[in-house]
């Protein structure tokens, strides 16, 4: 695994992040063009006040994600999407250390897995109200191989599918471990 990590570590990660047993959160400067672009993406549509943005550097989760991506590539086409997940700020530590957990999903309209959206506005609007005011968007890399329409009663996609979608592809639901990587955390206050 360390061989994979050392060969495929993202170039913007800090050298300390190569260690398998650590997770580093690197806060982006407000002057950074990436910070400004991410802030515009989430603030623009509905004027949410971004408090800070951090990059997640978890080499173990990254390696697991790359292995899953390679597995999907051997089966054929795979798309790598960048999608949003909205959650309570109190859930962040667990997610960046061990990844998303489909067993904790509470909003399951299009399947009983982890939900993502290409729209931060949609992710915020359809987030559980119990998430409170102190929230975070997670901009995640998400692997999509074969998708089908999801439904509330769907525990898993049908054989041959890995993703369910809903509401004109405003929702992507993932069911299996390591199909996603939490890339950036965007902390904000929900009104």
Inter-CA distances, 16 with 29, 52, 60, 67, Å: 19, 22, 13, 21
Can you list the domains of the chain with their CATH numbers? 2-8+16-189 (3.90.228.10)
Instruction: Tell me the pLDDT tens digit for each residue of 112-171.
Output: 889 999 999 888 776 656 556 778 999 999 999 999 999 888 889 999 999 999 988 999
Contact yes or no for 110/150 (Cβ under 8 A): yes
Residue with tokens 């509470």: 106
Q: Is the pTM of this model over 0.75?
A: yes
């Amino acid at each position: 695994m360390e061989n994979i990590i050392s060969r495929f570590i993202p170039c913007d990660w800090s050298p300390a992040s190569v260690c398998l047993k650590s997770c580093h959160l690197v806060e982006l400067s407000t002057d950074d063009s990436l910070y400004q672009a991410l802030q515009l993406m989430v603030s623009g549509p509905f004027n949410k006040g971004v408090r800070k943005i951090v990059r997640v550097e978890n080499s173990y989760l990254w390696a697991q994600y790359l292995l899953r991506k390679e597995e999907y590539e051997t089966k054929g086409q795979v798309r790598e999407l960048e999608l949003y997940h909205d959650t309570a700020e109190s859930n962040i530590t667990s997610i960046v250390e061990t990844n998303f957990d489909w067993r904790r999903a509470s909003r399951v309209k299009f399947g009983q897995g982890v939900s993502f959206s290409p729209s931060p506005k949609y992710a915020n609007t359809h987030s559980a109200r119990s998430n409170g005011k102190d929230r975070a968007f997670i901009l995640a890399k998400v692997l999509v191989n074969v998708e089908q329409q999801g439904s509330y009663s769907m525990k898993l996609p049908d054989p041959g599918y890995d993703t369910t979608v809903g509401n004109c592809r405003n929702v992507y639901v993932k069911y299996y471990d390591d199909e996603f990587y939490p890339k950036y955390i965007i902390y904000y206050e929900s009104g």
